[in-house]
Amino acid sequence: MLAGPDPELAATMGFSGFGEPRGASRDGWGSRRVPRVCCGLWGAGGAGVLFPPPPPPPSFGIPPCSSLSVSVSLLLNPFSMFLGKKARTFDLEAMFEQTRRTAVERSRKVLEAREREKEEQAEKELKSRHTDSSASASSATGVGSTLKPRDTASSESEDSSDEELIGPSMQSQTSVQGPVGGDDDDDEEFIGPPLPPGFKDSDDDDTEEEDNVSALGLDPSGARLITGGYDYDVKFWDFAGMDASLQAFRSLQPCECHQIKSLQYSSTGDVILVVSGNSQAKVLDRDGFPVMECIKGDQYIVDMTNTKGHTAMLNSGCWHPKIKEEFLTCSNDGTVRTWDVNNEKKHKSVFKPRSVQGKRVIPTTCTYSRDGKLIAAGCQDGSIQIWDRNMSVHTKFHCRQAHAPGTDTSCLAFSYDGTALASRGGDDTLKMWDIRQFKKPLHSAERLSSFFPMTDCCFSPDDKILVTGTSVKKGGGSGKLFFFDRETFQKLYEIEVTDASVVRCLWHPKLNQIMVGTGNGLAKVYYDPVKSQRGAKLCVVKTKRKERQAETLTQDYIITPHALPMFREPRQRSTRKQLEKDRLDPMKSHKPEPPVAGPGRGGRVGTHGGTLSSYIVKNIALDKTDDSNPREAILRHAKEAEENPYWVAPAYAKTQPKTVFAEVEPEDDETDKPEWKKRKI
């Protein structure tokens, strides 16, 4: 006789609690139909019928172990787990110890590799700095002396690997940075994981980014220049109002704490488009006051066509060259939108760039053609896509392999004749395209480094020269302006601007001057004394205005105020002593007399109605009836009105010289009235 299994365990193995397997059913005659899958049937307390066990699994040459024996026993007898077998115990301490040793060994190898790289880099720097043989020899001995304790430390770490902590040690990191950084940083604490090889821990990069002039704009007449940067400021410069000191006449932060990415005057010069790091472009007037702000779209809508505005960070924007109310923006939400200044609640049209697979791709720059009929966008997948302004669905021209995929195309510029397009890519190239044959570039210039997503390129006013700037790392040289011939694409000229990157460049057609924005916060203007007109020539000839020193009368400061008695201030006393002194003063200690309650006494008369009871008694039986006769009150002034007529009497002097008053009618007795007219009380 075999006892039935526990109902819960039977349920987990596929059996019901009443002796029937799961899936068993009864036919019309009450007989049981057992599925073929079950391997045994248990009676509810009765005899059990066992089917033959399954054949043992094949052996694959695995050495025997405790876990393998347990699994094989379970396969041979599926119900042996119910016959009192004990669970296997694991030694967690041994497992943790093995894991710790493995981590320590890996960390030690990584640290040793980093130390070797740091030592080699330090040796190279020391050899390059010291050109003299004696100096180089002394530096070599210094390096050797610094390397010895590291070798001993590494050998000691190998011997005592069991006592080391998991992860990189702080002493090794500080020893690696010691020869390079010097002894001045010994007091600074090392926080966080070590930096990868080739990276330096410096805060100068942050300040350098804040000084970047990331936006330039000139009005069509060339009278005013606007600049914007990563420090969130937009500054206004007036060439006619500036002197040689070159100071901005206005500075503001239109987008609060968002970096300025693009600034451009409209075709008439009365408004300014401001594109920043947020999702809403702004339009300002010439004096910097807000005119409109684009609406923000719903970020929870998947189809960007159904949103009224951008839902992600803006990348670029520009005005329509012919229509002064229309402008264009592109964003990280994968759309290019046109807007109307008079309607800030919704965009005019939406253009969605797509990749080869038809997926969404982010546009990094956008522009209009010179006639305003085409809209071009450079995307992150390296493509350049051009649409007809009135057809927003399909592209009119496109090139999928214009630049390297994954790089930001920073600028697109149409030539003045409208047939050529210049593109500045993040792959350090400058390319010239013919939009009529848009499959291959006409010309290409390489090795033009670009580290910023807004590096410019522009055409000269005569449409024969193409200009762009290059970026450099800190201490890596000077940023330059390169001039290329449009037809042959040969380098005509180059100018070293400053020891920082050249980010923005602008060649104004009327002024014939080049404005340059750099990575260290400078805005430079290049002009020709003969060929240039107005602009910077108006302010460089003016002398600096002398600062007027205002004469003000200031009070002389007393260096030792307690030297004279008249300037001494009494020391602060304790509260108890101050109260005792106040009690001695009769004016401060005088207590006001309370009001007299009840009858008067001591020469003071008690006020009637001063108490609640007296006030109630006084007002309990007031006669509030009005016995005055209005007729008599008016006739009191009849004599004065007759002697000195002013208002009514002169009007009736001719028509009614004698005053006629209404006759007093006798009051009717209510007894003579009918019963239904009498007053009912």
Last residue of a domain, one of 457, 490, 520: 457
DSSP 81: G
By DSSP bridging, strand 479-485 and strand 465-469 are: antiparallel
Percent of the chain with pLDDT over 90: 38
The region of weakest confidence among 12-16, 83-87, 367-371 is 12-16
d(C-alpha 484, C-alpha 380), whole Å: 26
Residue 299 lies in a domain: yes
Residue 270 lies in a domain: yes
| Residue 207 neighbours by CB under 8 Å, 6+ apart | none
In one-letter notation, the amino acid at residue 291 is: V
Same-domain status, 398 and 439: yes
The pLDDT value recorded for residue 661 is: 74
Residue 568 lies in a domain: no
The pLDDT value recorded for residue 208 is: 46
Query: Could you read off the pLDDT of 173-222 as tens digits, one per residue?
Result: 443 344 344 444 444 444 555 655 555 554 444 444 567 899 999 999 99
The pLDDT value recorded for residue 553 is: 63
CB under 8 A, 24+ apart: contacts of 492-498: 492/465, 495/526, 497/469, 497/524, 498/522, 498/524
Same-domain status, 50 and 109: no
What confidence category does residue 244 fall into, taking pLDDT thresholds of 50, 70 and 90? confident
Residue 350 lies in a domain: yes
3-state DSSP call for residue 421? strand
Same-domain status, 223 and 254: yes
Residue 469 lies in a domain: no
The pLDDT value recorded for residue 502 is: 94
The pLDDT value recorded for residue 491 is: 93
| Element containing residue 457 per DSSP (H, E) | strand 457-459
Burial class (CB within 10 angstroms; exposed 0-12, middle 13-18, buried 19+) of 175: middle
**Tokens found for residue 247:** 């100071």
Indicate if the pLDDT at residue 33 is higher than 50.
Answer: no
What confidence category does residue 353 fall into, taking pLDDT thresholds of 50, 70 and 90? very high
Q: CA neighbours within 13 Å on the CB side: how many for 465?
A: 17
The CATH number of the domain holding residue 261 is 2.130.10.10
Last residue of a domain, one of 457, 489, 523: 457
Query: Could you read off the pLDDT of 438-479 as tens digits, one per residue?
Result: 889 999 999 999 999 999 999 999 999 999 999 999 888 899
Residue 522 lies in a domain: no
Same-domain status, 182 and 104: yes
DSSP 373: S
Range(s) of the domain holding residue 330: 209-457
Same-domain status, 343 and 416: yes
The pLDDT value recorded for residue 192 is: 53
Same-domain status, 180 and 231: no
The pLDDT value recorded for residue 254 is: 92
Q: What's the mean pLDDT when you consider all of the chain?
A: 76
- Tally of domains within the chain: 3
Same-domain status, 219 and 168: no
Indicate if the pLDDT at residue 129 is higher than 70.
Answer: no
Same-domain status, 172 and 223: no
d(C-alpha 484, C-alpha 470), whole Å: 13
Indicate if the pLDDT at residue 412 is higher than 80.
Answer: yes
Query: Could you read off the pLDDT of 34-54 as tens digits, one per residue?
Result: 333 333 333 333 333 344 444
Q: How many residues in the chain?
A: 681
What confidence category does residue 625 fall into, taking pLDDT thresholds of 50, 70 and 90? low
Same-domain status, 309 and 361: yes
Higher pLDDT, 645 or 254: 254
Residue 679 lies in a domain: no
What confidence category does residue 631 fall into, taking pLDDT thresholds of 50, 70 and 90? confident
* 175 Ramachandran zone, left/alpha/beta (phi>0; psi -120 to 50): alpha
Is the distance from CB of 396 to CB of 384 less than 8 angstroms?
no
Residue 632 lies in a domain: no
Same-domain status, 177 and 220: no
d(C-alpha 81, C-alpha 365), whole Å: 69
Q: CA neighbours within 13 Å on the CB side: how many for 577?
A: 4
Same-domain status, 283 and 422: yes
Q: CA neighbours within 13 Å on the CB side: how many for 13?
A: 22
Same-domain status, 23 and 161: no
> Hey, which residues does 486 pair with through a beta bridge?
none
